[in-house]
Structure 1
Amino acid sequence: MSEAIFTLRRMTGEPKVGDPEAAWCAVRELIEARRPGGLARRALSLTDAERAEIARRLPEFRKQARASLRPDFGDDDDLPWSGWERDRIGGLGEVLQIAGAATLPSPAAVTAWLGRREFTARWGAYDPAHVVRVLAARPVAFQADVATRLAVKIRTADDRLAPLALALLRACGAPPPEHDPLVAAWLAAGPVSPDPLLGPMLPRIFEAEGAGRELRDERCEPAPTPWLALFQRLLAAGVAVGGGPAVPPAGAPRRGRVSRGELLDHCLRRFLRGGEAPDLRFFVRLHDMIDPSPEESAARRRDYLRLLPAAPGTVAALALAQVRRCGPYDDGEAAEAIEALTFRAETELARTGLRWLEDEVRHTPGQAPDLAPALATAFGHASYAIQGRAAQIAIKQATAFAPAAEVLCAAVPMLPAALGARVTAAFSSRTAA
């Protein structure tokens, strides 16, 4: 009778308290049966002695499981994948992760165990719930250490460790480490609600390498895609990332909060860091969604001016729109902006710069000498249309530009011969007069 009860306990996973050997037998049967739910329940009832025994037995069991698949491959990492199993260890990866998370003695040991390549599922969605469940029974500091160690092991946005690392960080409340691939993986997984990681992670979108790459397909139309939709809801509700008011009361903690003004500043800092246009696409669309007021743009005018010479075309166009709407601006700022635009390779931006230049000279002829370098820059533009327009302005406003004739004449050789001859003639006649 007692033997039958013992056998039943082993089959059902019911603990036999105080018998480490029996506990290992029960756990081993649950592992071999690939029963993650039953294993997690059994693991939560283990005594310290039972955990120690299972932790001692697990490494050898893993070696035997690998060897049973391809005896000639031994224990190296080149073990081939079987045709139908989800992992490199005969479909035992998930249950072995659960067993190790529940019993191994240190955060370092648990992290190394959970991160083993052969446990990684190669297809299908991975649900880390059972691993999180057994780790939740361990001390909070232990959980946080494992979560942090796993997070910094992430290397790519689609890293197979990412779902587990993110789930552990959310469950234990540990602050996420500053690790760019973690941010990319968090973005790739998509927004969830509620998400305790939102507060600390959201500002890192603007700093992490690879974040823009993950967000490049986000769009506002015909309907906002997930991340832009999240920002839209926050902006529409007038709340910050933490769920409170965008401007918290005096003395309230600001950790995890990003106000409207801070979002604008984050966008500008991201633009100023530079990058390829596709990687900045999300931030341009977010900036457009924020739709800064003239007052908000005016407060950031210097940053917008700094973007005009070399930022990708879409960013420069955005900056130009803000510079033009946030006036009044002084003559020096206008000259700086116009010269930056005439330097641009994009025909439309250079044409806009020349149009602005002509307006400034028409309304304030005395400013023409300060704008002469910008006009001279346009003489060397790759577009014949821009060169022709610049020559036309120089000829039409030759009187205003006369004090800076030397600057323009020095740039005439960059013009096609016919245009250059007309500009030279216009200034020669003014000099003779």
Structure 2
Amino acid sequence: MSALMELVRAGRTAEVVSLLDGMTDAERRSHFTELKVLRKELRAAPWESDARRAYPALHVAGAACQTGAAGVASWVSAADLRWSGVSPGVLLHILGDRETDWLADVTHRLAQRPVTAWVPYELMAGLVRLCGCPVPTTDAYVRGWVDHLRGSWQRGGTLLDRLRQDPHLRELAAALFETGDIGSRLQWPNHDGPDSWTGALAQLTVEGALDRGVTVDACVARLLRSGTAADQRVFLRLLKCLGLTRDEERERTADWLALASDATSTVASYAQSVLGGLALDGELAPHHLAEMSEAVLFRTEKKLVRAQLVLLGKVLARDASAAGELLPAIARAFGHEDAEVQERALKLVERHVKKLGPVQARAELAMAAEQLIPGLRARAVGTLGAPPADPDPLGYEELLPPAPQPTRLAPAAASAVELAEEVGAALASEPGVTGFERALDGLVRHAYKDRDALLAALEPVITRRWWDSADRAVSGDRFAGSYGAVSHAADGLDLLLATLRGRIPTATLHARVQRGSTSRDCVHGALFRAFECRLWEVAHRMRTDPLPFLLSTPTWSTGLLEPAELVERLDTYRRLGARVAATDFAQALLRVRRADREAAESAARRAAALGTQEGTRLAAWLTSEVPALPTARRRTSGPRVLVELGEVLDLQNDFPAEFRPLGNPMSVFQKRAWCYHWDDDIRQHWSALLPERRELVAARLLQDLSDLAVDDAQGAAAALPPLAESGGEAGEAVHLGLAYGLGARHEEDRLAAVDALLVLAARGQLDAARLGADLGQLVQSGAVKTQRLAESARTAAATGANATIWSVLSRTLPVLLADLTTGGAAAPARGLGELLAVAAECAERSGARGDLPHLAQATARRGSSRLVTQARRLRNALVEEVAA
């Protein structure tokens, strides 16, 4: 071993540098092969003490012993070396004797590395100083520059002072505007002083260190490109700090128009204020203001829309000649989704319509008025000459989105190679019920058919799994741990793969089958135990007595299993002489379709004719009546309303011990702090566990669903669409869960709840009166916020479900209005005006009529708040006749 290699292995970095300084280039190159071999050796155990000791010396030696710029850049920035590498100063010392062109090449190669390579800025900047090359303006260099300046506060002075001293200020400052997602690094501190980026850049522009025109143009261009919220905030703050002159504002009129139309709310508001100032000073042509208005008036941000209408009113008051161009633009707001915006626009048009000539634009205004809600359109008939609405001879027709149809599972993969691909995909991303059950059945089938061929095909998948360790005891202990292995569906596949690989001892599998689930007694425990126990028994049988296939693989994506198909499977088992797995058969019974009595009775006769114990059991199960829902009792727990269930006797008899808890009484007090069933993925598999008894599943998920609204949790609402698509009666628990989902904190959860509501409605299974009453109670208790409910209701109504949403809200609003009018609430619930607006729109569109309790008292309140105006709008919509 050479002296250099001895020093590198010993980690004596200073002596390595000294030795390298005395070598020629040829002598250095001669050692590089040995260094590569050592690097490969250290990779096998990078955290061992020998490796950590050698890495810094290896880092500097490898950089010194190469002649190619590309090789040096790759070596210096390599992930396995940089975390234990030497300081930038040592690297600069060892590379400093190279030619300037070569150093420039290395510099730019390092700067072009991705940000995630974490090349030290000090190294890149030091190389720039050594070779005098143009400063790189790549993402990695610019981000490093920003972080370096922010982190060098110890040297004293402000950020402004440090920027003044930077010789590359102009180039790097210009690159800031081209660097993606840089705002998060520039936004702190959140002020505009000399120690902030916005304050410092603005002051440097004032001083002339930065060109003002270039900086302003770059700011505006960055805002036009959009980007992250942090980016928008920072560059908008900088633009405001620059204090644009009126000439600078006027020169960029086209940019402000684009920003007002399409930018984020805060940026659009700024652009709107700039254009408003120009318009009020007569420096914005009416056609430009009309162009701006047509875009802004259709934005969803009410603050922007109201500000635009106010601006238009001021301009029209000052310049009557602009009415011909501005009033048609205002009339575009007649089609806005918010009735309050429609009313404001109509008032503005009515105020200034006389400024039009006898023919000029009036026909256009009258045509636009056809988009107004019925009450406002009736008013526009007299004021604008709009044509009266034609009565619909067929009446209102509800247009619900079609309910999704369940899909039939494809047969298991025919070849082991195809199955391995499916299993790998299922482990990489959530496969859903369909993907999981197909992969599960495929593993069982191919293990029975040819275990060795299956293992060979699965080799690329298995070698990437965490449990594929040479230490079999560790793997086995992990799967046998007190928390079990099947916390989500992918764990079930891992369990079978590890069994095939031999990573779990047979004794462990046998013990788990005999002992049962280790799941603790929480509210989800019954569902979890039934899901888990089948997987452990299948794994045990895979080792000891392989099953030819699974009896319980569903026919449909909802988890339902066709009775005729189950009879065929049992017949195949009989012919093969295969022994049925108790938990697999129990799951098949829970999944088999019994609602279709004709099909069930036909299959029962064939099952009885098999002459097997399982055939007799299946025949009895199919011919028995599907029991009614168990007794349910509502319980309140703080702001929550939960459901407790009584005993389900038919799930107690002749089922394995791990399935019987599904029929036990369920109490809301089974929820425990140490419940670990937090994974959102597993809930859809619980729905497929009992595909004709969704109420039993929903009751056990109700605590999680209530957390969406009460504790602002996220994700549990993904269980609602599968429940809506499932079978069985939709009772107390399903409707309460839906109510919590509609009031969820996060938009994706509310959308999932809206999907579930529409599915139930399309299938004729929505009890609107029950859901409306539940929502009223939950809003009253504070569990559901009115504003969130209004957003969900508006989203559902926008699909065409106006009558459905009205039928729900007509039961919710009386509860809230009663509190308002009888003094039961200290103040109106925030968002009640929005909820009334949605209800009014649904009533207008669906032609609902009649009286709504307590609405009259709300309309009698003084003032013109949104609550009062929308209550009056709803009252007008509900009267027997609406003026035409």
Partner of 2:63: 101
Partners of 2:222 and 2:166 in 1: CA distance: 24
Partner of 1:228: 198
C-alpha distance 64-82 of structure 1, shift in aligned 2 (>3 A): closer
Residue 32, structure 1, aligned to residue 2, structure 2: no
Partners of 2:218 and 2:369 in 1: CA distance: 42
C-alpha distance 222-110 of structure 1, shift in aligned 2 (>3 A): closer
1:253-268 counterparts in 2 under 5 A? 258-268=210-220
Deviations 1:106-151 (A, max 9, x none): 11221222232211217xx973111122112211111111111122
C-alpha distance 35-314 of structure 1, shift in aligned 2 (>3 A): farther
Partners of 2:324 and 2:9 in 1: CA distance: 85
**8 A contact 2:181–2:227 mirrored in 1:** no
C-alpha distance 292-388 of structure 1, shift in aligned 2 (>3 A): same
**8 A contact 1:380–1:414 mirrored in 2:** yes
SS of match in other structure, 1:92: helix
C-alpha distance 419-105 of structure 1, shift in aligned 2 (>3 A): same
C-alpha distance 302-126 of structure 1, shift in aligned 2 (>3 A): farther
C-alpha distance 230-364 of structure 1, shift in aligned 2 (>3 A): closer
1:1-16 counterparts in 2 under 5 A? none
Residue 82, structure 1, aligned to residue 47, structure 2: yes
Total equivalences in the alignment: 368
Deviations 1:225-272 (A, max 9, x none): 543343144235x032xxxxxxxxxxxxxxxxx412211100111122
Q: Which 5+ residue runs of structure 2 have no aligned equivalent?
A: 153-161, 387-884
1:287-366 counterparts in 2 under 5 A? 287-326=239-278, 327=281, 328-366=283-321
**8 A contact 2:350–2:383 mirrored in 1:** yes
1:13-412 counterparts in 2 under 5 A? 24-25=2-3, 27-66=4-43, 69=45, 81-82=46-47, 89-121=51-83, 127-156=87-116, 159-163=117-121, 164-177=123-136, 179-191=138-150, 193=162, 194-215=165-186, 217-221=187-191, 223=193, 226-235=196-205, 238-240=207-209, 258-326=210-278, 327=281, 328-401=283-356, 403-412=360-369
- 1:370 maps to a residue whose letter is E
Q: Of the two, which has the highest radius of gyration?
A: 2
Partners of 1:332 and 1:234 in 2: CA distance: 38
Partners of 1:126 and 1:212 in 2: CA distance: 31
Partners of 1:138 and 1:102 in 2: CA distance: 10
- 2:170 maps to a residue whose letter is G
Partner of 1:425: 382
**8 A contact 1:115–1:161 mirrored in 2:** yes
SS of match in other structure, 1:153: coil
Partners of 2:229 and 2:235 in 1: CA distance: 10
- 1:138 maps to a residue whose letter is R
The match for 1:416 among 373, 377, 402 is: 373
SS of match in other structure, 2:97: coil
C-alpha displacement at 1:425, in angstroms?
1.2
Partners of 2:337 and 2:75 in 1: CA distance: 59
Partners of 1:397 and 1:205 in 2: CA distance: 48
- Superposition TM-score, scaled by structure 2 size: 0.39
C-alpha distance 170-389 of structure 1, shift in aligned 2 (>3 A): farther
Deviations 1:157-203 (A, max 9, x none): xx322434454345433334554454344434445644445332221
SS of match in other structure, 2:30: helix
Moved more, 365-374 or 191-200: 191-200
**8 A contact 1:267–1:287 mirrored in 2:** yes
C-alpha displacement at 1:91, in angstroms?
4.0
C-alpha displacement at 1:224, in angstroms?
6.1
C-alpha displacement at 1:319, in angstroms?
1.4
**8 A contact 1:190–1:227 mirrored in 2:** no
- 1:47 maps to a residue whose letter is T
C-alpha displacement at 1:339, in angstroms?
3.0
Partner of 2:511: none
Partners of 1:113 and 1:59 in 2: CA distance: 10
Q: Which 5+ residue runs of structure 1 have no aligned equivalent?
A: 1-20, 70-80, 241-257
**8 A contact 2:142–2:179 mirrored in 1:** yes
How much identity, in percent, do the aligned residues show? Answer: 29
Partners of 1:142 and 1:387 in 2: CA distance: 68
